[in-house]
Structure 1
Amino acid sequence: MGIYSRLIFPRLLDLSMSGQELSRYRQSLLAPVRGEVLEIGFGTGLNMPYYGDGVRSLTAIDPNVGMAKLATPRVQAATVKVDLQTANAEALPMADERFDAVVCTWTLCSIPNIEQALAEVWRVLKPGGKFFFIEHGLSPDRGVGTWQQRMTPLQRRIADGCHLDRPMANLIQAVFAQVELQEFYATDLPKLIGYFYQGVATKPPL
Protein backbone atom coordinates (compact mmCIF):
# COMPACT_ATOMS: atom_id res chain seq x y z
CA MET A 1 0.00 0.00 0.00
CA GLY A 2 1.49 3.32 -1.10
CA ILE A 3 1.83 6.63 0.72
CA TYR A 4 -1.16 8.13 -1.11
CA SER A 5 -3.50 5.29 -0.11
CA ARG A 6 -2.24 5.07 3.47
CA LEU A 7 -1.72 8.73 4.42
CA ILE A 8 -3.42 11.09 1.98
CA PHE A 9 -6.54 9.28 0.79
CA PRO A 10 -7.99 8.66 4.29
CA ARG A 11 -8.05 12.41 4.92
CA LEU A 12 -9.57 13.16 1.53
CA LEU A 13 -12.19 10.49 2.12
CA ASP A 14 -13.07 11.83 5.57
CA LEU A 15 -13.51 15.34 4.20
CA SER A 16 -15.52 14.36 1.12
CA MET A 17 -17.86 11.96 2.96
CA SER A 18 -18.71 14.21 5.92
CA GLY A 19 -21.42 16.34 4.34
CA GLN A 20 -24.92 16.87 5.74
CA GLU A 21 -26.71 15.07 2.91
CA LEU A 22 -24.59 11.93 3.30
CA SER A 23 -25.09 12.10 7.06
CA ARG A 24 -28.87 12.04 6.55
CA TYR A 25 -28.56 8.92 4.42
CA ARG A 26 -26.40 7.27 7.06
CA GLN A 27 -28.94 8.06 9.76
CA SER A 28 -31.90 6.68 7.80
CA LEU A 29 -30.04 3.50 6.84
CA LEU A 30 -28.60 2.69 10.26
CA ALA A 31 -31.55 3.53 12.52
CA PRO A 32 -33.09 0.01 12.30
CA VAL A 33 -29.81 -1.91 12.66
CA ARG A 34 -29.84 -4.30 15.63
CA GLY A 35 -27.86 -7.03 17.35
CA GLU A 36 -24.36 -8.23 16.55
CA VAL A 37 -23.20 -6.11 13.63
CA LEU A 38 -20.38 -6.23 11.09
CA GLU A 39 -19.47 -3.10 9.14
CA ILE A 40 -17.46 -3.60 5.95
CA GLY A 41 -15.37 -0.65 4.80
CA PHE A 42 -15.39 1.16 8.14
CA GLY A 43 -13.13 3.90 6.78
CA THR A 44 -12.73 6.78 9.22
CA GLY A 45 -15.73 5.76 11.32
CA LEU A 46 -18.26 8.27 10.01
CA ASN A 47 -21.14 5.88 10.68
CA MET A 48 -20.47 5.65 14.41
CA PRO A 49 -22.86 8.42 15.58
CA TYR A 50 -25.80 6.79 13.81
CA TYR A 51 -25.83 3.35 15.40
CA GLY A 52 -28.68 3.06 17.88
CA ASP A 53 -29.11 1.41 21.25
CA GLY A 54 -30.19 -1.84 19.62
CA VAL A 55 -26.64 -2.60 18.49
CA ARG A 56 -25.04 -4.93 21.04
CA SER A 57 -21.58 -5.01 19.46
CA LEU A 58 -19.88 -3.79 16.29
CA THR A 59 -17.09 -5.53 14.42
CA ALA A 60 -15.58 -3.13 11.89
CA ILE A 61 -13.16 -3.97 9.10
CA ASP A 62 -11.20 -1.97 6.56
CA PRO A 63 -8.27 -3.08 4.39
CA ASN A 64 -6.56 0.32 4.57
CA VAL A 65 -4.40 0.58 7.69
CA GLY A 66 -4.26 4.35 7.24
CA MET A 67 -7.94 4.72 8.13
CA ALA A 68 -7.48 3.61 11.74
CA LYS A 69 -5.75 6.80 12.91
CA LEU A 70 -8.77 8.90 11.97
CA ALA A 71 -11.29 6.27 13.05
CA THR A 72 -9.87 5.67 16.53
CA PRO A 73 -11.24 8.84 18.22
CA ARG A 74 -14.73 8.00 16.94
CA VAL A 75 -14.39 4.43 18.16
CA GLN A 76 -13.24 5.61 21.58
CA ALA A 77 -16.23 7.95 21.87
CA ALA A 78 -18.72 5.21 21.00
CA THR A 79 -21.18 3.84 23.53
CA VAL A 80 -21.13 0.42 21.85
CA LYS A 81 -18.23 -2.04 21.98
CA VAL A 82 -16.23 -1.86 18.73
CA ASP A 83 -13.73 -4.42 17.47
CA LEU A 84 -11.75 -2.65 14.71
CA GLN A 85 -9.77 -4.94 12.42
CA THR A 86 -7.70 -4.66 9.25
CA ALA A 87 -9.19 -7.19 6.82
CA ASN A 88 -10.45 -7.66 3.27
CA ALA A 89 -14.15 -8.11 2.53
CA GLU A 90 -13.39 -10.93 0.10
CA ALA A 91 -11.97 -13.09 2.91
CA LEU A 92 -13.71 -12.21 6.16
CA PRO A 93 -11.99 -13.72 9.22
CA MET A 94 -15.30 -14.57 10.88
CA ALA A 95 -17.30 -17.74 11.41
CA ASP A 96 -20.33 -18.68 9.36
CA GLU A 97 -23.68 -17.22 10.50
CA ARG A 98 -22.00 -14.93 13.03
CA PHE A 99 -23.90 -11.64 12.62
CA ASP A 100 -27.46 -10.34 12.83
CA ALA A 101 -26.64 -7.51 10.42
CA VAL A 102 -23.94 -6.44 7.98
CA VAL A 103 -23.54 -2.78 7.04
CA CYS A 104 -21.82 -1.38 3.95
CA THR A 105 -21.84 2.33 3.03
CA TRP A 106 -20.19 3.58 -0.16
CA THR A 107 -17.73 0.69 -0.10
CA LEU A 108 -18.75 -1.93 -2.67
CA CYS A 109 -17.58 0.46 -5.40
CA SER A 110 -13.93 -0.07 -4.43
CA ILE A 111 -13.74 -3.75 -3.46
CA PRO A 112 -11.71 -5.55 -6.18
CA ASN A 113 -13.82 -8.73 -6.18
CA ILE A 114 -17.29 -7.52 -5.33
CA GLU A 115 -18.97 -10.85 -6.10
CA GLN A 116 -16.76 -12.65 -3.59
CA ALA A 117 -17.34 -9.93 -1.00
CA LEU A 118 -21.11 -10.29 -1.32
CA ALA A 119 -20.80 -14.06 -1.01
CA GLU A 120 -18.88 -13.46 2.23
CA VAL A 121 -21.63 -11.15 3.49
CA TRP A 122 -24.13 -13.97 2.90
CA ARG A 123 -21.87 -16.47 4.66
CA VAL A 124 -21.41 -14.50 7.88
CA LEU A 125 -25.08 -13.49 8.22
CA LYS A 126 -27.32 -15.54 10.45
CA PRO A 127 -30.47 -16.98 8.84
CA GLY A 128 -32.92 -14.10 8.83
CA GLY A 129 -30.04 -11.61 9.06
CA LYS A 130 -30.05 -8.37 7.10
CA PHE A 131 -27.54 -6.61 4.85
CA PHE A 132 -27.92 -2.81 5.07
CA PHE A 133 -26.30 -0.87 2.23
CA ILE A 134 -26.06 2.45 0.47
CA GLU A 135 -23.78 2.65 -2.55
CA HIS A 136 -23.20 4.75 -5.63
CA GLY A 137 -23.07 3.13 -9.03
CA LEU A 138 -24.21 2.91 -12.61
CA SER A 139 -27.00 5.28 -13.61
CA PRO A 140 -29.84 3.98 -15.82
CA ASP A 141 -29.62 7.22 -17.81
CA ARG A 142 -27.68 6.32 -20.93
CA GLY A 143 -25.69 9.54 -21.19
CA VAL A 144 -24.70 9.54 -17.53
CA GLY A 145 -23.83 5.85 -17.61
CA THR A 146 -21.61 6.28 -20.66
CA TRP A 147 -19.61 8.99 -18.94
CA GLN A 148 -19.39 6.90 -15.77
CA GLN A 149 -17.80 4.11 -17.80
CA ARG A 150 -15.40 6.53 -19.49
CA MET A 151 -14.33 8.15 -16.22
CA THR A 152 -14.00 5.00 -14.09
CA PRO A 153 -10.32 4.31 -15.03
CA LEU A 154 -9.38 7.79 -13.76
CA GLN A 155 -11.65 7.48 -10.73
CA ARG A 156 -9.99 4.20 -9.75
CA ARG A 157 -6.59 5.90 -9.68
CA ILE A 158 -7.57 8.97 -7.68
CA ALA A 159 -10.12 7.32 -5.35
CA ASP A 160 -8.30 4.18 -4.26
CA GLY A 161 -10.04 1.71 -6.58
CA CYS A 162 -13.51 3.29 -6.72
CA HIS A 163 -15.67 2.34 -9.72
CA LEU A 164 -18.39 4.71 -10.94
CA ASP A 165 -20.11 2.18 -13.15
CA ARG A 166 -20.98 -0.90 -11.12
CA PRO A 167 -24.64 -2.05 -11.47
CA MET A 168 -25.13 -2.44 -7.73
CA ALA A 169 -28.73 -3.69 -7.82
CA ASN A 170 -27.87 -6.54 -10.19
CA LEU A 171 -24.80 -7.53 -8.17
CA ILE A 172 -26.64 -7.61 -4.84
CA GLN A 173 -29.71 -9.35 -6.26
CA ALA A 174 -27.47 -12.06 -7.72
CA VAL A 175 -26.71 -13.10 -4.11
CA PHE A 176 -29.86 -12.04 -2.22
CA ALA A 177 -33.29 -12.93 -3.58
CA GLN A 178 -35.09 -10.66 -1.08
CA VAL A 179 -33.98 -7.04 -1.52
CA GLU A 180 -35.83 -3.86 -0.60
CA LEU A 181 -34.23 -1.20 -2.80
CA GLN A 182 -34.44 2.50 -3.60
CA GLU A 183 -32.53 4.09 -6.48
CA PHE A 184 -32.14 7.86 -6.79
CA TYR A 185 -29.82 10.75 -7.52
CA ALA A 186 -28.35 12.53 -4.52
CA THR A 187 -29.49 16.15 -4.57
CA ASP A 188 -26.14 17.77 -3.78
CA LEU A 189 -23.79 15.67 -5.92
CA PRO A 190 -22.98 15.54 -9.64
CA LYS A 191 -24.93 12.80 -11.41
CA LEU A 192 -21.65 11.13 -12.38
CA ILE A 193 -20.98 10.14 -8.76
CA GLY A 194 -24.41 10.64 -7.26
CA TYR A 195 -26.63 7.79 -8.45
CA PHE A 196 -27.37 5.91 -5.22
CA TYR A 197 -28.66 2.45 -4.37
CA GLN A 198 -30.02 2.20 -0.82
CA GLY A 199 -31.66 -0.85 0.66
CA VAL A 200 -31.87 -3.90 2.88
CA ALA A 201 -31.25 -7.46 1.69
CA THR A 202 -32.43 -10.37 3.84
CA LYS A 203 -31.01 -13.84 4.13
CA PRO A 204 -33.90 -16.32 4.40
CA PRO A 205 -34.59 -17.78 7.84
CA LEU A 206 -34.24 -21.51 8.38
Structure 2
Amino acid sequence: MGFYSNTVLPCLINCACGTGAVHRQREKVVPRAYGKVLEIGMGSGLNLRHYDASQVEFIWGLEPSEGMRLKAGANVAQSSITVKWLDLPSEQIPLEDACVDSIVLTYTLCTIPDWQRALGEMQRVLKPSGPLLFCEHGEAPEANIQKWQHRINPAWRRIAGGCNLDRPIPSLIDSVFDIQSLEQGYIKGPKIAAYQYYGVATKRCI
Protein backbone atom coordinates (compact mmCIF):
# COMPACT_ATOMS: atom_id res chain seq x y z
CA MET A 1 0.00 0.00 0.00
CA GLY A 2 3.01 2.33 0.36
CA PHE A 3 3.40 3.08 -3.35
CA TYR A 4 -0.35 3.22 -3.91
CA SER A 5 -1.11 5.46 -0.91
CA ASN A 6 1.86 7.78 -1.38
CA THR A 7 1.98 8.02 -5.18
CA VAL A 8 -1.11 6.71 -6.98
CA LEU A 9 -3.82 7.73 -4.51
CA PRO A 10 -2.73 11.41 -4.22
CA CYS A 11 -3.01 11.72 -8.01
CA LEU A 12 -6.46 10.11 -8.06
CA ILE A 13 -7.77 12.27 -5.22
CA ASN A 14 -6.29 15.42 -6.74
CA CYS A 15 -8.10 14.72 -10.03
CA ALA A 16 -11.42 13.73 -8.43
CA CYS A 17 -11.45 16.67 -6.02
CA GLY A 18 -10.19 19.20 -8.56
CA THR A 19 -13.03 19.19 -11.08
CA GLY A 20 -14.75 22.42 -12.01
CA ALA A 21 -17.94 21.40 -10.22
CA VAL A 22 -16.05 20.68 -6.99
CA HIS A 23 -14.11 23.93 -7.19
CA ARG A 24 -17.39 25.81 -7.50
CA GLN A 25 -18.46 24.22 -4.23
CA ARG A 26 -15.19 25.20 -2.55
CA GLU A 27 -15.74 28.80 -3.67
CA LYS A 28 -18.89 28.94 -1.58
CA VAL A 29 -17.12 28.52 1.77
CA VAL A 30 -13.32 28.90 1.57
CA PRO A 31 -13.23 32.69 0.90
CA ARG A 32 -15.01 33.22 4.23
CA ALA A 33 -12.01 31.97 6.23
CA TYR A 34 -9.99 34.54 8.14
CA GLY A 35 -7.15 35.01 10.62
CA LYS A 36 -5.23 31.96 11.73
CA VAL A 37 -6.89 29.23 9.68
CA LEU A 38 -6.83 25.50 10.29
CA GLU A 39 -7.56 23.47 7.18
CA ILE A 40 -8.41 19.87 7.97
CA GLY A 41 -7.18 17.41 5.36
CA MET A 42 -5.45 20.02 3.23
CA GLY A 43 -4.47 17.41 0.68
CA SER A 44 -2.84 18.84 -2.43
CA GLY A 45 -3.73 22.43 -1.56
CA LEU A 46 -6.70 22.73 -3.91
CA ASN A 47 -8.34 25.29 -1.64
CA LEU A 48 -5.44 27.73 -1.77
CA ARG A 49 -6.73 29.52 -4.86
CA HIS A 50 -10.01 30.28 -3.09
CA TYR A 51 -8.76 31.95 0.09
CA ASP A 52 -8.97 35.71 0.44
CA ALA A 53 -5.28 36.34 1.12
CA SER A 54 -6.02 39.78 2.55
CA GLN A 55 -8.05 38.15 5.34
CA VAL A 56 -5.80 35.20 6.19
CA GLU A 57 -2.77 35.49 8.50
CA PHE A 58 -1.56 31.94 7.75
CA ILE A 59 -2.91 28.41 7.37
CA TRP A 60 -2.20 25.40 9.52
CA GLY A 61 -2.50 22.65 6.93
CA LEU A 62 -3.31 19.40 8.68
CA GLU A 63 -2.46 16.55 6.33
CA PRO A 64 -1.15 13.16 7.54
CA SER A 65 -0.33 11.86 4.07
CA GLU A 66 3.24 12.54 2.95
CA GLY A 67 2.21 11.88 -0.63
CA MET A 68 -0.51 14.55 -0.48
CA ARG A 69 1.85 17.08 1.11
CA LEU A 70 4.35 16.49 -1.70
CA LYS A 71 1.55 16.82 -4.25
CA ALA A 72 0.68 20.19 -2.70
CA GLY A 73 4.12 21.65 -3.42
CA ALA A 74 3.18 23.51 -6.60
CA ASN A 75 -0.02 24.99 -5.16
CA VAL A 76 1.77 26.13 -2.00
CA ALA A 77 4.58 27.70 -4.04
CA GLN A 78 2.07 29.67 -6.12
CA SER A 79 0.15 30.97 -3.11
CA SER A 80 0.99 34.15 -1.21
CA ILE A 81 -0.37 32.58 2.00
CA THR A 82 2.01 30.86 4.39
CA VAL A 83 1.18 27.20 5.04
CA LYS A 84 2.38 25.54 8.24
CA TRP A 85 2.04 21.79 7.81
CA LEU A 86 0.76 19.54 10.59
CA ASP A 87 1.39 15.90 9.71
CA LEU A 88 -0.85 14.22 12.27
CA PRO A 89 -4.35 12.75 11.81
CA SER A 90 -7.40 14.93 12.46
CA GLU A 91 -8.02 13.05 15.71
CA GLN A 92 -4.74 14.50 17.07
CA ILE A 93 -4.55 18.22 16.33
CA PRO A 94 -1.25 19.47 17.86
CA LEU A 95 -2.51 22.96 18.72
CA GLU A 96 -3.48 24.77 21.89
CA ASP A 97 -7.06 25.28 22.98
CA ALA A 98 -8.98 28.14 21.32
CA CYS A 99 -6.10 29.32 19.12
CA VAL A 100 -7.74 29.00 15.67
CA ASP A 101 -9.83 31.82 14.18
CA SER A 102 -11.57 29.71 11.53
CA ILE A 103 -11.58 26.09 10.36
CA VAL A 104 -11.98 24.90 6.77
CA LEU A 105 -13.27 21.36 6.28
CA THR A 106 -13.71 20.33 2.64
CA TYR A 107 -14.10 16.78 1.33
CA THR A 108 -12.40 15.36 4.40
CA LEU A 109 -15.03 14.33 6.95
CA CYS A 110 -15.88 11.39 4.68
CA THR A 111 -12.44 9.85 5.30
CA ILE A 112 -11.72 10.42 9.02
CA PRO A 113 -11.93 7.06 10.87
CA ASP A 114 -12.88 8.48 14.28
CA TRP A 115 -14.92 11.44 13.04
CA GLN A 116 -16.42 12.23 16.45
CA ARG A 117 -13.04 12.54 18.12
CA ALA A 118 -11.78 14.64 15.22
CA LEU A 119 -14.73 17.04 15.46
CA GLY A 120 -14.13 17.25 19.19
CA GLU A 121 -10.54 18.29 18.52
CA MET A 122 -11.76 20.94 16.08
CA GLN A 123 -14.16 22.20 18.73
CA ARG A 124 -11.28 22.37 21.22
CA VAL A 125 -8.87 24.41 19.09
CA LEU A 126 -11.46 26.80 17.59
CA LYS A 127 -12.01 30.18 19.24
CA PRO A 128 -15.52 30.73 20.68
CA SER A 129 -16.40 33.21 17.94
CA GLY A 130 -14.84 31.23 15.08
CA PRO A 131 -16.68 29.46 12.24
CA LEU A 132 -16.33 25.92 10.96
CA LEU A 133 -16.69 26.30 7.18
CA PHE A 134 -17.60 22.97 5.63
CA CYS A 135 -18.21 21.49 2.20
CA GLU A 136 -18.61 17.72 2.00
CA HIS A 137 -20.21 14.96 -0.03
CA GLY A 138 -22.30 12.34 1.69
CA GLU A 139 -25.52 10.41 2.04
CA ALA A 140 -28.08 11.20 -0.64
CA PRO A 141 -31.73 11.82 0.32
CA GLU A 142 -33.28 9.22 -2.01
CA ALA A 143 -33.63 5.66 -0.74
CA ASN A 144 -32.61 4.11 -4.08
CA ILE A 145 -29.38 6.15 -4.20
CA GLN A 146 -28.66 5.37 -0.55
CA LYS A 147 -29.05 1.67 -1.33
CA TRP A 148 -26.28 1.85 -3.92
CA GLN A 149 -24.12 4.02 -1.69
CA HIS A 150 -24.33 1.43 1.10
CA ARG A 151 -23.72 -1.43 -1.33
CA ILE A 152 -20.67 0.11 -3.01
CA ASN A 153 -19.16 1.77 0.05
CA PRO A 154 -17.02 -1.13 1.41
CA ALA A 155 -15.11 -1.51 -1.86
CA TRP A 156 -15.05 2.24 -2.49
CA ARG A 157 -13.52 2.89 0.93
CA ARG A 158 -10.67 0.46 0.26
CA ILE A 159 -9.62 2.01 -3.06
CA ALA A 160 -10.39 5.67 -2.23
CA GLY A 161 -8.21 6.23 0.81
CA GLY A 162 -10.92 5.57 3.39
CA CYS A 163 -13.53 7.80 1.73
CA ASN A 164 -17.12 6.91 2.66
CA LEU A 165 -19.94 7.59 0.22
CA ASP A 166 -22.79 7.43 2.72
CA ARG A 167 -21.98 9.49 5.79
CA PRO A 168 -24.86 11.69 7.04
CA ILE A 169 -22.71 14.82 7.14
CA PRO A 170 -25.14 17.27 8.84
CA SER A 171 -25.83 14.79 11.64
CA LEU A 172 -22.14 14.26 12.26
CA ILE A 173 -21.33 17.97 12.42
CA ASP A 174 -24.43 18.76 14.47
CA SER A 175 -23.40 16.21 17.10
CA VAL A 176 -20.52 18.48 18.12
CA PHE A 177 -21.08 21.94 16.55
CA ASP A 178 -24.14 24.13 16.03
CA ILE A 179 -24.97 24.43 12.33
CA GLN A 180 -25.88 28.02 11.45
CA SER A 181 -26.45 27.60 7.72
CA LEU A 182 -26.73 24.56 5.49
CA GLU A 183 -27.23 24.13 1.75
CA GLN A 184 -27.39 20.80 -0.04
CA GLY A 185 -27.93 19.27 -3.45
CA TYR A 186 -26.35 17.37 -6.32
CA ILE A 187 -23.48 18.58 -8.43
CA LYS A 188 -22.42 17.15 -11.77
CA GLY A 189 -21.16 13.59 -11.48
CA PRO A 190 -22.25 10.06 -10.46
CA LYS A 191 -25.12 10.42 -7.99
CA ILE A 192 -23.56 8.02 -5.50
CA ALA A 193 -20.78 10.58 -4.89
CA ALA A 194 -22.36 13.85 -6.01
CA TYR A 195 -24.67 14.84 -3.16
CA GLN A 196 -23.12 17.87 -1.43
CA TYR A 197 -23.53 19.63 1.89
CA TYR A 198 -22.00 23.03 2.56
CA GLY A 199 -22.42 25.70 5.18
CA VAL A 200 -21.23 27.21 8.44
CA ALA A 201 -21.20 25.85 11.98
CA THR A 202 -20.15 27.45 15.25
CA LYS A 203 -18.57 26.28 18.44
CA ARG A 204 -21.05 24.84 20.90
CA CYS A 205 -20.97 26.24 24.41
CA ILE A 206 -20.33 23.44 26.88
What band does the TM-score fall into relative to the shorter chain? over 0.9
The residue that corresponds to 1:3 in the other structure is 3
Contact 1:178 1:203 in 2 (8 A): no
The residue that corresponds to 2:190 in the other structure is 190
Alignment-mate amino acid for residue 81 of structure 1: T
Alignment-mate amino acid for residue 49 of structure 2: P
Of the structure 1 ranges 22-31 and 41-50, higher mean CA displacement relative to structure 2 is found in: 22-31
Unpaired runs of at least 5, structure 1:
none
Q: 1:108 to 1:204 in 2, by over 3 A?
A: closer
Distance 2:180 2:159 in 1: 31
Give 1:204 shift.
5.2
1:14 maps onto 2:29 in alignment: no
Give 1:86 shift.
1.1
**What are the within-5 Å matches in structure 2 for residues 8-47 of structure 1?**
8-47=8-47
Give the RMSD, CA atoms, in angstroms.
1.4
Distance 1:151 1:4 in 2: 21
In structure 1, the residue corresponding to 2:29 is in which secondary structure? helix
1:173 maps onto 2:170 in alignment: no
Number of aligned positions between the proteins: 205
1:123 maps onto 2:124 in alignment: yes
Distance 1:154 1:22 in 2: 23
Alignment-mate amino acid for residue 123 of structure 2: W
Alignment-mate amino acid for residue 48 of structure 2: M
Distance 2:40 2:177 in 1: 17
Give 1:85 shift.
2.3
In structure 1, the residue corresponding to 2:192 is in which secondary structure? coil
In structure 1, the residue corresponding to 2:104 is in which secondary structure? strand
- Which is richer in strand? 1
Distance 1:78 1:138 in 2: 33
The residue that corresponds to 1:95 in the other structure is 96
Alignment-mate amino acid for residue 75 of structure 2: R
TM-score scaled by length of structure 1:
0.95
Distance 2:152 2:115 in 1: 19
Distance 1:63 1:28 in 2: 25
Unpaired runs of at least 5, structure 2:
none
**What are the within-5 Å matches in structure 2 for residues 70-89 of structure 1?**
70-89=71-90
Alignment-mate amino acid for residue 177 of structure 2: F
In structure 1, the residue corresponding to 2:102 is in which secondary structure? strand
Give 1:178 shift.
3.6
